[in-house]
Chain A
Amino acid sequence: MPLNRDYIGRRYDAEGTFEVGREHIRQFADAIGDPNPIYRDKAAAQAAGHPDVVAPPTFLTTIGMALRGGGPIGDEGLGLNYALVVHGEQHFTHHRPARPGDVLTASTVIEEIRDAGANELMKLRQEIRTTDGEPICDAINVVVSRGTAAGAS
């Protein structure tokens, strides 16, 4: 089943907020096997000029997962089958590193849905900011929906 093209341009404002946690940052750094002390040790982070430990450059992918209820991935009307999804592209532009205690929210726009052979590509543009409105990160996420292009068998 092709994705619902009527959803191009739809904007999703996340329901709820995402608070960046010190232990979550450590857990994420452990999962990527990265021993960098700036993820774990406040003194090391301060020596590098940060007020506190910082999140790894790809950490904010977790906000998309945590706030999925308010985003396109969980929107039934879009018609995305998550088992057919692979990741096409990802891009982050950081205004500053996320830190423990940041309370974040996100808005996501479906910028494009198009066919690529038998697959469909859906481009999502996400703005992540604190609840005070400070911009933290702009992310672009291209999702591949495998084999769902119209006419693909």
Chain B
Amino acid sequence: MAAKVNYDDVEVGTELPAASFQVTRAKLVMYAGASGDFNIIHWNERTAKAVGLPDVIAHGMFTMAEAGRVVTDWVGDPGAVVEYGVRFSSPVPVPDDDTGTTLEVAGRVEEKLDDRRVTVALEARALDSTVLSKARAVVQLA
């Protein structure tokens, strides 16, 4: 694996380039098709509201995938992601409009591990809520 980030060049606290992602209904449809997750709450507003949700909500796995891009864009090689885990702390409601909901993701190196690996802590927010908590990736650096 060929990470483009060298272990010797990062410190605890090194910030990864932050990114924002627009989550739209169209993207949820694409994600449903690609992932095979056709849960109706991710595309049908009537059903989502009937079961007590504020609106159609994004697939948690879509949010996790987008947040993970802050790590893979930084390291270059997605195969360098050894572990990746999140807790879904709030749903991401996605309105029926063209702009959707903005997901803001930031990351920083939390710990330097053995074998030239680091733990990255991610923060993901949408609509003033933290949508992922305990979001951590272990990354194999060069």
A interface with B by C-beta (< 8 Å): 24, 27-28, 30-34, 36, 38-39, 47-50, 54, 56-58, 61-62, 65-66, 82-94, 96-97, 140, 142, 146-147
Contact between B72 and A36, CB atoms less than 8 A apart? yes
The listed residue (B1, B35, B64, B69) touching A90 by CB distance below 8 A is: B64
Inter-chain contact B85/A140, CB cutoff 8 Å: yes
A56 touching B2 in the complex, CB below 8 Å, given contacts A31-B27, A34-B69, A82-B39: no
Given contacts A82-B39, A83-B51, contact A48 B77 (CB under 8 A): yes
CB-based contact A83/B88 at 8 Å: no
**2-47 of chain B: CB within 8 A of chain A:** 2, 21, 27, 30-31, 33-37, 39-41, 47
- A85–B78 touching, CB < 8 Å: no
In angstroms, how far is the closest chain A Cβ from the Cβ of B9?
Answer: 18
- Check B83–A30 contact: CB distance below 8 A: no
A88: which of B73, B81, B88 is its contact (CB, 8 Å)? B88
How many residue pairs at the A-B interface have CB separations less than 8 Å?
127
Contact B78 A54 (CB under 8 A): yes
Q: How far is the CA of A91 from the CA of B82 in the complex (A)?
A: 11
Contact A86 B79 (CB under 8 A): no
* Cross-chain contact of A49 among B2, B21, B59 (Cβ < 8 A): B2
Interface residues, chain B, CB within 8 Å of chain A? 1-2, 21, 27, 30-31, 33-37, 39-41, 47, 51-52, 57, 59-62, 64-66, 68-69, 71-73, 76-79, 81-88, 91, 134, 137
Task: Determine the distance from Cα of A65 to Cα of B39 in the docked complex, in whole angstroms.
Answer: 11
What residues of chain B lie closer than 8 Å to A86, measured between beta carbons? 41, 57, 60, 88, 91
Q: Identify the closest chain A residue to B88 (Cβ).
A: A87
Residues of A within 8 A of B66 (CB): 32-33
Are A28's CB and B86's CB within 8 A?
Answer: no
Would you call B35 and A28 a contact (CB within 8 A)? yes
Distance A96 CA – B36 CA, assembled complex (angstroms): 23
Given A31-B35, A86-B88, A38-B77 contact (CB < 8 Å): yes
**For B21, what are the chain A residues with a Cβ–Cβ distance below 8 Å?**
33
**Sample (12) of A-B pairs whose CB atoms are under 8 Å apart:** A31-B33, A32-B65, A38-B77, A38-B79, A58-B64, A82-B39, A83-B41, A86-B91, A90-B61, A92-B83, A94-B82, A142-B87
B51 to chain A: closest CB distance in Å? 5
Question: Judging by beta carbons under 8 Å apart, are B85 and A91 in contact?
Answer: yes
Known: A56-B68, A62-B36, A83-B51. A48 touches B2 (CB 8 A): yes
Interface core residue of A36, A50, A86 (most chain B CB under 10 Å): A86
The CA of A88 and the CA of B85, in the complex, are separated in Å by 11
Contact A90 B78 (CB under 8 A): no
- Say whether A83 contacts B36, CB under 8 Å: no
Chain A's nearest CB lies how many Å from the CB of B29? 9
